[in-house]
C-alpha cells in the first residue's frame, strides 16, 4: 500500500469520527433520543464519502464495505450522548467539529479522486462534495436549510483545501504535507467565517428603491 492510499484511509477514519461527533451533537441539541443521535452521527459521517466513491467508481463505497466506519460513528454518537452536558460546555461544538470534518474529508476526497486518475479540476470538485455531503444530509434531516446553500463560507472553504492538494500534487509535493496544509486552510477559513461573520454575496430579492418592512 503506497503512502497516498494509506493517507486517504487514515483521513477517512479521522473524518468519519469527527463528522459523527458533529452529527451526534446536533442530534442532542435537537432533543433526539439515543437512536436518533446514532443515526444522525452515522449519516453525517458517511454521506459525503459515499457520494464521492460512487462518482469515482469505488464500488462498494469504503464507508459501507468497511465496518470500522460504522463502529467509529457509533462510538462517537455514544460518547456525545453520554457526556452531552460536559460536551456543551464547549463553545459552538457542532460548528467546530463540522469545520474539522469538512477539512479532513475535502482533502481525503481530493486525494482519493487523484489516486483514481480523475483530472485535477474534477478531483477538487469531488473533494469539495466529499466534504460538504455529510453536513448537507445532516441539516436536511434536522429540517434546516443546508449550510452550503446559505451565505456562509462553507463549500468555498472545502474547495480551497481541495485545491491545495491538487496544486501540491501537480508540483510533486508529499501528500502528507499537502493534506496538512489543505486541512489547516479549510478549517481556518471556516472558523474565521463563523467568528468574523464572513459571508458570500447574496442577491437582493427586493426591487430597487423599495423599503424594508
Residue 211 lies inside a defined structural domain of this protein: no
Residue 207 lies inside a defined structural domain of this protein: no
Residue 68 lies inside a defined structural domain of this protein: yes
Residue 209 lies inside a defined structural domain of this protein: no
Per residue in 157-194, pLDDT (tens digit) is: 999 999 999 999 999 899 999 999 999 999 999 999 98
> Contact 109/50 with Cβ under 8 angstroms?
no
Strand partners, 199: 152
With a cut of 70, say whether residue 210 has pLDDT above it: no
- Compute the mean pLDDT over every residue in the chain, rounded to the nearest whole number: 89
Domains of the chain: total: 1
Q: Please state the pTM of the whole predicted model.
A: 0.87
pLDDT at residue 88, rounded to an integer: 67
pLDDT at residue 192, rounded to an integer: 92
> Contact 187/103 with Cβ under 8 angstroms?
yes
Residue 156 lies inside a defined structural domain of this protein: yes
Domain holding 95, by residue range, is: 3-196
Residue 170 lies inside a defined structural domain of this protein: yes
- Does a cis peptide bond (omega within 30 degrees of 0) precede residue 60? yes
Residue 206 lies inside a defined structural domain of this protein: no
Per residue in 118-160, pLDDT (tens digit) is: 999 999 999 999 999 999 999 999 988 888 887 678 999 999 9
- Residue 181, judged by CB atoms within 10 A of its CB (0-12, 13-18, 19+), counts as middle
Which residue's entry shows cell 456543551? 88
Residue 180 lies inside a defined structural domain of this protein: yes
Q: Which residues of 135-147 are buried (b: 16+ CB within 10 A; e: fewer)?
A: bbbbbebeeeebb
Amino acid at each position: 500500500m503506497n503512502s497516498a492510499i494509506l493517507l486517504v484511509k487514515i483521513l477517512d477514519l479521522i473524518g468519519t469520527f469527527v463528522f459523527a461527533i458533529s452529527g451526534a451533537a446536533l442530534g442532542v441539541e435537537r432533543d433526539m433520543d439515543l437512536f436518533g443521535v446514532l443515526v444522525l452521527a452515522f449519516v453525517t459521517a458517511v454521506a459525503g464519502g459515499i457520494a464521492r466513491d460512487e462518482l469515482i467508481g469505488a464500488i462498494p463505497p469504503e464507508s459501507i464495505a468497511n465496518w470500522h466506519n460504522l463502529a467509529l460513528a457509533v462510538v462517537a454518537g455514544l460518547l456525545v450522548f453520554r457526556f452531552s452536558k460536559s460536551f456543551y460546555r464547549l463553545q459552538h461544538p457542532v460548528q467546530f467539529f463540522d469545520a474539522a470534518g469538512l477539512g479532513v474529508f475535502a482533502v481525503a476526497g481530493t486525494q482519493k479522486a487523484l489516486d483514481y486518475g480523475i483530472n485535477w479540476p474534477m478531483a477538487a470538485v469531488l473533494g469539495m462534495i466529499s466534504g460538504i455531503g455529510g453536513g448537507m444530509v445532516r441539516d436536511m434531516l434536522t429540517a434546516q436549510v443546508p449550510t452550503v446553500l446559505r451565505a456562509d463560507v462553507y463549500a468555498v472553504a472545502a474547495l480551497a483545501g481541495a485545491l491545495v492538494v491538487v496544486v501540491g500534487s501537480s508540483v510533486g509535493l508529499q501528500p502528507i504535507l499537502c493534506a496538512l496544509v489543505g486541512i489547516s486552510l479549510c478549517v481556518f477559513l471556516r472558523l474565521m467565517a463563523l467568528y468574523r461573520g464572513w459571508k458570500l454575496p447574496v442577491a437582493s430579492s427586493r426591487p430597487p428603491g423599495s423599503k424594508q418592512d
